[in-house]
Amino acid sequence: MKFYNLLIKYRFWLGILAIVLAIAVNINSGFWPSFVLYFVGVIALFSHFFIGPMRLIQEPMERGEVEEVEKILATIWFPNLLYKPVRSTYYTIKGNLAMMKQDFDSAEKHLKKSSSLGAPMPEAEGANKLQLGMMAMQKGNLKEAEGYVRAAIRLGISDKESEAVAYLSMCQIFMNKREFRAAKDYFRRAKALKPKTKQVIDQIKEIEKYISRIPG
């Protein structure tokens, strides 16, 4: 595994080296003896630009090494050349990193790019839509937020905590619209998931103070 990761990390330079050696062999011995080197070089360069080093991101992300993730992403010089699902993942990660830095404008820009490309799995696209919905709520654009959160719920959200956040967001949107029956329905759905994250539990308790007094 380490060897494979090293191969991915230095794939571009190994590809360049293979092409240079192929040219030297071609000049001295002809095309066919150099064919394998040309082939290896072209495959290495093609895979560097078409697939990129995204595989290398998983371990530093799990360890929370944000700077290492950013260094790896910085080696992707032309993201538009990436294979479409890989490009979508690239922009999702860029968006998540921007959100961690509270750079919401950049986060929105990257997540919208990812959303327009479509995620490899519906659950991943659902999570993307939910993030866009949360940012729209922060900006006070409830109509846009509702559209994104509805789309997230429809596509499916992989974990119960995020699903509960989606239902609570819809609850708040409908409370704002004074459609209390729908708000209560979404609130019940959120509670039924029994979220364990403190932030989500606190949000449920806060909403419960008000929603229990509302008719409907």
Predicted confidence (pLDDT) per residue in 177-209, tens digit: 989 999 999 999 999 999 888 888 898 998 888
Exposure string of 126-158, with b = 16+ CB inside 10 Å and e = fewer, is bbbbbbbbbbbbeeeebeebbebbebbbebebe
| Cα dihedral 92→96→98→99 (10° resolution) | 140
Whether the Cβ atoms of residue 42 and residue 12 lie closer than 8 Å to each other:
no
For 8-52, write each residue's pLDDT tens digit: 888 999 999 999 999 999 999 988 889 999 999 999 999 999 999
Residue labelled with tokens 């729908």: 182
Give the pLDDT mean for 108-126: 77
**pTM above 0.85?**
no
Query: What percent of the chain shows pLDDT beyond 90?
Result: 38
Backbone Cα Rg of the chain: 24
Sequence-separated (6 or more) residues with CB below 8 Å from residue 156: 122, 123, 126
Q: Is 76 strand, coil or helix?
A: coil
Per-residue pLDDT, 13: 93
Amino acid at 204: I
For 122-162, write each residue's pLDDT tens digit: 557 788 888 889 888 888 889 999 999 999 999 888 788 88
| Phi, psi (deg, nearest 5) at residue 144 | -65, -40
